[in-house]
Amino acid sequence: MDQAVLARVPEVFARRVGPALGLADEADVVARACHAMATRFHGGGRLIVFGNGEAATDAQHISVEFVHPVIVGKRALPSFSLTSDVATITGVAATAGLEEVFAHQLRRLAAPRDIALGISPDGGCVNVLRGLETAHRLGLLTLALTGGDDGGPIGRSPAVDHVLIARSADPRVVKEVHVTTYHILWELVHVFFEQPGVLDPRVIP
Amino acid sequence: MSDIEALYPFLYSGSTDLDAVMTSVRQSTVEKVDEIVTLRRTVLERDGERIAACAEAMAEAFAAGARLFAFGNGGSSTDAQDVATLFMNPGHMNGGAAHPLPAFALTADIAVVTALANDIGFEVVFARQLAASAFAGDIALGLSTSGNSRNLIAAFEEAERRGMLTVGLAGYGGGQMAELGTIDHLFVVPAASVHRIQEAQTTVYHALWELTQQALTRMEAGDGDDGA
């Protein structure tokens, strides 16, 4: 066996620990995001998810998580990923440009009571930012999963209501924190559903 | 009580309950973070050396011209697609350009998947694609949390018939993927939560990718084999 490859393994795993623990420091942001999402679902909203490259697979993972819960007895919640429609994405990209794809889809598919969740590992994806800005203008609740030091332009955008930042420069580590984050988002949205009294719009600060 | 609460008590009629739920929800996040950090440590201790060996075998296969076929159902299908795009379009690693490598996700072509499912059955959707497209020496990488998905078992059986290098990621006790006994590199994440299993599996395939990249770089430089 190549001893240099073997020697690298502990470092690869060690690189994950700090960013994973960092999510615990965001527990309050997670809780507020879940409450806001549960309130939107309670009001008939749908969850619309989007991202590029590897984050496109996260978008699809999130939508299947909500539509088909892994825990028996949890209700299915309406969600879809914008990245599954390759025909529309390549069509809009070829005419208006890749920067416009998610904004275009949201303008046609979203309702004001819906939820927009954009994923961008470095917070710099222009089409994700434009999608979130469009969603915000339409009245949707907006959330972003980003990474890096400060979440990048998406993390700083006033159009995003809830930002969760995975603090790592390694996009693979960022993705892993995102996976844990959205699994927790799904589970805790259902905790709020089990307490319908807290979903009354009047109690939202 | 704040001035606003005094003026508009109806606004805060449920606030005590909400505070209690928010507190329990925050605690739940902290507990889940602890679970995944502990689980990754377990995976490293159990399988760290085997992950390195698998990455070396994958690097040797790629160097010999292999293509990677990734497959899974549901959330694991998104992991399969993630594996495929990570190998195909990896961007940078440690400041340098990573090797783009040929990879396909067997769930990406919805025409083929629905045709096979409709005409024959869902259990053949991956096996038939491997039968049509894969060669001896190619890599089959399947992900399942239960280890029991019938279409994955059929795919691994087909992959073995074709002489592919087989890599499996499973959870719980490994299920039927472990019982097969034919998967060259099987990584079982020992957890009871589908979510934590998937999170640890993501780390495993990220580690496999990074170590494959490192092994390929060292093979190109001529210092990949220490003879150990």
* Per-residue pLDDT tens over the stretch B133-142: 999 999 999 9
In a domain, B10, yes or no: no
Residue A116's pLDDT band, with cuts at 50, 70 and 90, is very high
Residue with tokens 């809009």: A92
Residue B94's pLDDT band, with cuts at 50, 70 and 90, is confident
Rounded to the nearest integer, the mean pLDDT of chain B is: 92
Close Cβ partners of A42 (under 8 Å, ≥ 6 residues apart): A193, A196, A199
pLDDT at B6: 54
Give the pLDDT mean for B75-104. 93
In a domain, B1, yes or no: no
Mutation site, B11, B82, B172, interface A, largest A CB count within 10 A: B82
Chain B contact set for A57 (CB, 8 A): 78-79, 81-82, 85
What percentage of chain A has pLDDT greater than the value 90? 89
Give the pLDDT mean for A130-152. 96
Element housing A131 (H / E)? helix A126-138
CB within 8 Å: B37 and A1: no
Chain B contact set for A68 (CB, 8 A): 74
> What is residue A47's DSSP assignment?
E
In a domain, B6, yes or no: no
pLDDT at A205: 42
Domain ranges of chain A: 3-196
In a domain, B8, yes or no: no
In a domain, B228, yes or no: no
pLDDT at B11: 45
In a domain, B7, yes or no: no
DSSP string, A90-121: HHHHHHT-GGGHHHHHHHHH--TTSEEEEEET
A/B interface, count of CB pairs below 8 Å: 177
pLDDT, one tens digit per residue, over B150-209 is 999 999 999 999 999 999 999 999 999 999 999 999 999 999 999 999 999 999 999 999
Q: What is the ipTM of this complex?
A: 0.94
pLDDT at B170: 98
pLDDT at B100: 96
> What is residue B99's DSSP assignment?
P
| Structural tokens at position A30 | 């997670």
Task: Search chain B and give the residue with CA nearest A59.
Answer: B78
| Structural tokens at position B141 | 């990488």
pLDDT at B1: 45
Whether the per-residue pLDDT at B3 is higher than 60: the answer is: no
Determine the structural domain holding residue B140 and report its residue range: 15-221
Residue A200's pLDDT band, with cuts at 50, 70 and 90, is low
| Structural tokens at position A75 | 């209700």
Whether the per-residue pLDDT at B227 is higher than 50: the answer is: no
What percentage of chain B has pLDDT greater than the value 90? 84
CATH of span A3-196: 3.40.50.10490
pLDDT, one tens digit per residue, over A42-87 is 999 999 999 999 999 999 999 999 999 988 889 999 999 999 999 9
Partner-chain residue, chosen from A6, A23, A34, that has the shortest CB–CB distance to B52: A6
Which regions of chain B does DSSP assign to beta strands (E)? 68-72, 92-93, 96-97, 103-105, 139-143, 165-171, 185-189
Chain A contact set for B32 (CB, 8 A): 180, 183-184, 187
CB within 8 Å: A35 and B18: yes
Residue A204's pLDDT band, with cuts at 50, 70 and 90, is very low
In a domain, B214, yes or no: yes
Q: What is the 3-state secondary structure (H, E, C) of B174-206?
A: CHHHHHHCCCCEEEEECCCCHHHHHHHHHHHHH
Residue B127's CATH number = 3.40.50.10490
In a domain, B72, yes or no: yes
pLDDT, one tens digit per residue, over B30-80 is 999 999 999 999 999 999 999 999 999 999 999 999 999 999 999 999 999
